[in-house]
Structure 1
Amino acid sequence: MKRSLRLLVPLLLLAAACTSSPDGPDDGDGGDTVPPAPSGPHWQPRPGLTWQWQLKGKLDPAVDVQVYDIDAVDQDAAAVADLHRRGRKVICYVSTGAWENWRPDAKQFPKDVLGKGNGWDGERWLDIRRTDVLEPLIAKRFDLCRAKGFDAVEPDNMDGYNNDTGFPLKAADQLKYNELVARLAHDRGLAVGLKNDLDQIPQLLAHFDFAVNEQCAQYGECDKLTPFVKAGKAVFHVEYELPPAKFCAESRKLGLSSMEKKYDLLVWRLPC
């Protein structure tokens, strides 16, 4: 998961909300008006959906939400099917911008595409300019998501150009790579979310079906996500260091699907 690099806490893992039906939000709490749903061949998550983000520990499928975001490798097809039987949509967590040394395919990444550590044990930034190497590897990861029955992917570490990766990445490199990631997901019938990368939302909005954000309230950045909501696309948002009383009023006003989580991303959640 893309944890904010401004807070380098010890590694605890690999790695909301207004109410609505899975196909659309309630007209009440999320904002003054509900935008039209985008059209497309894959799932189109609408603003206001409630969600659970669990990337560590034994999966609890009984949380009363409409969307689950879980790990691509740690959870199997049976877990995804069970969530579907319970009426949930399911997002597949995949790191696309950083290498993780515990993943089954870790040895398939050449050493020359591995950059500096990103602040978390066992993780290193990837040279996203090397699409010749990364495209087939990410495609295989998305194939796994599709094979397990997921509805969408959450590609993580999508803003390397704004970090000290060990590579001279530029904004144009990030845009090209993020667009590639979105295309690979859509080619497999999967919705795809933009993880953080707030500064490039204007250029990437058309390519992504929803957003996942960490700590926009803590850093006073949540207004940058409004283009997604205005386009009828959900924003799944978490805070780690602020209680709901500090951000839920703004989240409701902006139409975000917000909750407080702990950095370990276990079951515990405190939604708006």
Structure 2
Amino acid sequence: MRIRWSALRRVVAATVVLTLPVPAYACRPRLAPPGAPTPWPTAYARQWQWQWQLTAPVDVTVDADVFLLDAVRVTAEETTALRVRDRRLVCHVPVGTYADTDPDAGRFPPAVRGSAVRGTGGTDRPARWLDVRRWDLLAPVLADRFRLCRGKGFGAVALVDADGYAQRTGFPLNFDDQLLFNRRVATLARSLDLSPGLVDDVGQVAALAPDFDFAVSRDCVRLRRCAKLLPFVDAGKPVFHVEFTGDPAVFCVTTLGYGFASIRKSPELDAERQPCRLP
């Protein structure tokens, strides 16, 4: 009796599928390959441990799942060392400011350069605000900042200085100007296969939570605004929180109750950290 080759191939293929070994996964969910956006499984939203370091060299031995790092200062060797250990890499990208020390500072025309930033939120970067209404002028520069992140192996970006409407920028920015800009930047990040995260801008969290994959919050306990980040938690998205003052034994009770991943850091954002231990 003849057996058709097409039927035989189907039988062999089915047998191979059934006999392939099932991979054994570690406690941490596996990281996507370079060039793909970082996944944030909702089942782990309350379980991440994280690190925020903007100084160099990066301490790649820190016991954390997520590393928020400066794209310019970190080396490709350091990001590779973290990726081979399945650490998630988030790129610290100022989107609403520039500094004269930035490698791309000369690409911002005078028309978009505003007032000096008051209080740099834990960094030593002497920054100035940008006119976020001029998307035509800012988009190409921001796209290249994101491409630098991708080139060094990052799969996510944290959008820093995305709340100029609430600051003294030197421009008449309003709520809707900022909302449109932040959504545009999130869309730009996704178009380059990067997972977007919102840094602070708590006044717009309720509107922006659907557009971002995670949030980063500074001093929400001290400023008494942690509750405003709950739209991320309710959606199963991680909130990475840092306090620059206070006793972790005190504020961890609050932030773990909210479901945040919390740490205590020095304003220099060096390698030292005090994490809130998960129960």
Please give the range of the TM-score, normalised by the shorter of the 2 chains: 0.7 to 0.9
The aligned residue for residue 195 of structure 1 is 199
Please say if residues 265 and 272 of structure 2, whose CA atoms lie closer than 8 Å, have aligned partners that are also in contact: yes
State the structure with more CA Rg. 2
The verdict on how the C-alpha distance between 1:132 and 1:85 changes in structure 2, with shifts beyond 3 A counting, is same
The aligned residue for residue 43 of structure 1 is 38
Separation in 1 of the partners of 2:27 and 2:237? 14
The aligned residue for residue 72 of structure 2 is 73
Farther off after superposition, 50-59 or 115-124? 115-124
- Measure how far apart 1:184 and its partner are: 0.9
TM-score of the two chains, using structure 1 as the length reference: 0.84
The aligned residue for residue 154 of structure 1 is 158
| Aligned counterparts, 1:123-138, within 5 A | 123-138=127-142
Separation in 1 of the partners of 2:237 and 2:144? 26
More relative contact order in 1 or in 2 (CA 8 Å, sep 6+)? 1
| RMSD over aligned Cα atoms | 1.5
The aligned residue for residue 27 of structure 1 is none
Deviation sequence 1:150-182 (CA, Å, 0-9, x none): 010011101000000000000000001000110
| Aligned counterparts, 1:198-217, within 5 A | 198-217=202-221
Separation in 1 of the partners of 2:159 and 2:258? 23
- Measure how far apart 1:47 and its partner are: 3.1
Deviation sequence 1:212-237 (CA, Å, 0-9, x none): 00000001111111111111110000
Greater share of residues in helix: 2
Q: Which runs of 5+ in 1 are unaligned?
A: 1-19, 25-40
The aligned residue for residue 84 of structure 1 is 83
| Aligned counterparts, 1:170-249, within 5 A | 170-249=174-253
Farther off after superposition, 213-222 or 75-84? 75-84
Please say if residues 99 and 125 of structure 1, whose CA atoms lie closer than 8 Å, have aligned partners that are also in contact: yes
Separation in 2 of the partners of 1:61 and 1:216? 27
Count of aligned pairs: 237
The aligned residue for residue 144 of structure 2 is 140
Separation in 1 of the partners of 2:234 and 2:46? 9
Separation in 2 of the partners of 1:71 and 1:203? 27
SS at match of 1:168: coil
Structure 1 stretches of 4+ with a deviation exceeding 4 A read: none
AA aligned opposite 2:132: I
The aligned residue for residue 31 of structure 1 is none
Please say if residues 22 and 49 of structure 1, whose CA atoms lie closer than 8 Å, have aligned partners that are also in contact: no
Please say if residues 214 and 237 of structure 1, whose CA atoms lie closer than 8 Å, have aligned partners that are also in contact: yes
Farther off after superposition, 51-60 or 208-217? 51-60
Residues 1:262 and 2:261 are matched in the alignment: no
- Measure how far apart 1:21 and its partner are: 4.1
Residues 1:107 and 2:106 are matched in the alignment: yes
- Measure how far apart 1:68 and its partner are: 0.5
- Measure how far apart 1:87 and its partner are: 2.1
Residues 1:55 and 2:54 are matched in the alignment: yes
Q: Which runs of 5+ in 2 are unaligned?
A: 1-25, 31-35
SS at match of 1:247: helix
AA aligned opposite 1:255: G
AA aligned opposite 1:136: P
- Measure how far apart 1:247 and its partner are: 0.8
Please say if residues 198 and 212 of structure 2, whose CA atoms lie closer than 8 Å, have aligned partners that are also in contact: yes
